[in-house]
C-alpha cells in the first residue's frame, strides 16, 4: 500500500526502522528498551517490522578497551565481531518480554547488488516475516571493508526497504527532523514535508554524525530517503526517543512522499 501521510502509518503492512550507533550505544544504550517496545507495539497490531541497527563497532569498543572509534580496518573488524554478538543479545533480552524472537541478518552491499545473493536475502527475509520473526539487519562489518569506510547504514536500510517492498522507512537518529541548516545554528527551521522529487534547493545539509561513535548525518539520511521514496516507500526522519509516536502516526519529524509507482533498485539508486 502507499502511505499518503503520517496518520496512515499504523495501517502499514511492512515497515523498516533504522537506528544509528549513537542512539543505542554508550550512554544511550538505555534507549534499546523503549525502541523495542515501540517495535513490539507495531508487531502486535500485525505490521511486519524489520530493524536495521548500526552499533556493532560502537558496542564492541569498550570490550576492546577503546575510547574512540578505531581508524584501522582490522580493529574495526574486531570490534564489529565482538559487538554484533552483544548487540543482538541486548535486543533479544528486550524482546523476550513481548514474546518476539529476533533473527540476525548480516548483509553487504554486494549481497543486494548481485542477483543470486539478493534473491537469497529476499527469500530469507520474506520467510522470517511470514514466521513473525523480527529481523535485525546490520552491515556485515567484519568482512564488508568498503561499507566500513562508507560509514552508515542509512543506505542499507533504504535498500532493505526496497528489497522487501516496505510501505515505510523510518530513519532514527539524535535529531528530531531534517532542518534547513544544522539545527544548532540560528535560524534553522524544521522541514515538515518533502514532496517526491523535491531537490531541497537552498537547504544546508550536514554530513557528520556524533563524533567518535556514528558516522552518518543528515546527508546520508536524505540520500537514503530518496532511494526508498523512489522505490515506493514513504520515509520519516525523526529522533530515536520519538519512535513510539512515529510508529503511532503522530505528526512529527520530516515526511518524504513515496513515488507514485514502485521501481527497481537500479532505478531508485539513480535518484541519489
Query: Would you list which residues are annotated within the binding site for ATP?
Result: 18, 173-174
Q: Phi and psi of 17, rounded to 5°?
A: -115, 125
Cell of 38: 515501540
Angle formed at CA 104 by CA 173 and CA 64, multiple of 5 degrees? 70
* pLDDT for position 162: 95
Query: Burial of 266 by CB count in 10 Å (0-12 exposed, 13-18 middle, 19+ buried)?
Result: exposed
* pLDDT for position 3: 95
Q: Give the C-alpha separation, 37 to 268, whole Å.
A: 32
Q: Give the C-alpha separation, 227 to 235, whole Å.
A: 10
HSE-up of 75 (CA within 13 Å, CB side)? 13
Complete domains list, the chain, with CATH: 6-269 (3.40.1160.10)
* pLDDT for position 147: 46
Give me the tens of pLDDT residue by residue for the chain, a chain 272 residues long.
889 999 999 999 999 999 998 899 888 989 999 999 999 999 999 999 999 999 999 999 999 999 999 988 899 889 999 999 999 999 999 999 999 999 999 988 778 888 999 999 999 999 999 999 999 999 887 776 654 444 468 999 999 999 999 999 999 998 999 999 888 888 899 999 999 999 887 787 765 444 444 445 788 899 999 999 999 999 999 999 999 999 999 999 999 999 988 764 434 443 33
Residue 49, Cα to own-chain centre: how many angstroms? Answer: 12
Give Dmax over CA atoms of the chain in angstroms.
50
Q: Give the C-alpha separation, 35 to 249, whole Å.
A: 15
Helices within the chain (DSSP H only): 21-24, 32-44, 56-60, 73-96, 109-113, 115-130, 145-150, 154-164, 218-230, 243-248, 265-269
In angstroms, the Cα distances linking 201 to 122, 198, 205 are 35, 8, 10
Q: Give the C-alpha separation, 99 to 64, whole Å.
A: 32
Query: Would you list which residues are annotated within the binding site for substrate?
Result: 54, 141, 153
Query: Would you list which residues are annotated within the binding site?
Result: 18, 54, 141, 153, 173-174
Amino acid at each position: 500500500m502507499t502511505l499518503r501521510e503520517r496518520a496512515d502509518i499504523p495501517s502499514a503492512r511492512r515497515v523498516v526502522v533504522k537506528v544509528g550507533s549513537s542512539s543505542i550505544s554508550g550512554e544511550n544504550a538505555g534507549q534499546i528498551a523503549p525502541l523495542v517496545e515501540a517495535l513490539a507495539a507495531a508487531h502486535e497490531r500485525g505490521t511486519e517490522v524489520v530493524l536495521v541497527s548500526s552499533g556493532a563497532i560502537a558496542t564492541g569498543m569498550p570490550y576492546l578497551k577503546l575510547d574512540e572509534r578505531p581508524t584501522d580496518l582490522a580493529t574495526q573488524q574486531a570490534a564489529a565481531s565482538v559487538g554484533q554478538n552483544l548487540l543482538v543479545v541486548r535486543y533479544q533480552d528486550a524482546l523476550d518480554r513481548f514474546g518476539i524472537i529476533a533473527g540476525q541478518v548480516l548483509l553487504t552491499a554486494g549481497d543486494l547488488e548481485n542477483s543470486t545473493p539478493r534473491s537469497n536475502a529476499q527469500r530469507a527475509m520474506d520467510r522470517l516475516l511470514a514466521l513473525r520473526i523480527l529481523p535485525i539487519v546490520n552491515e556485515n562489518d567484519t568482512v564488508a571493508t568498503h561499507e566500513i569506510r562508507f560509514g552508515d547504514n542509512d543506505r542499507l536500510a533504504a535498500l532493505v526497504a526496497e528489497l522487501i517492498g516496505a510501505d515505510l522507512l523510518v530513519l532514527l537518529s539524535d535529531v528530531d527532523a531534517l532542518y534547513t541548516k544544522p539545527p544548532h545554528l540560528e535560524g534553522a527551521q524544521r522541514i515538515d514535508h518533502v514532496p517526491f522529487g523535491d531537490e531541497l534547493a537552498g537547504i544546508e545539509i550536514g554530513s557528520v554524525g556524533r563524533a567518535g561513535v556514528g558516522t552518518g548525518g543528515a546527508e546520508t539520511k536524505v540520500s537514503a530517503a530518496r532511494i526508498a521514496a523512489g522505490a515506493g516507500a514513504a520515509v520519516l526522519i525523526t529522533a530515536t526517543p520519538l519512535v513510539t509516536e512515529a510508529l503511532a502516526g503522530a505528526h512529527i519529524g520530516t515526511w518524504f512522499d513515496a513515488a507514485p509507482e514502485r521501481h527497481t533498485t537500479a532505478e531508485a539508486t539513480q535518484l541519489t
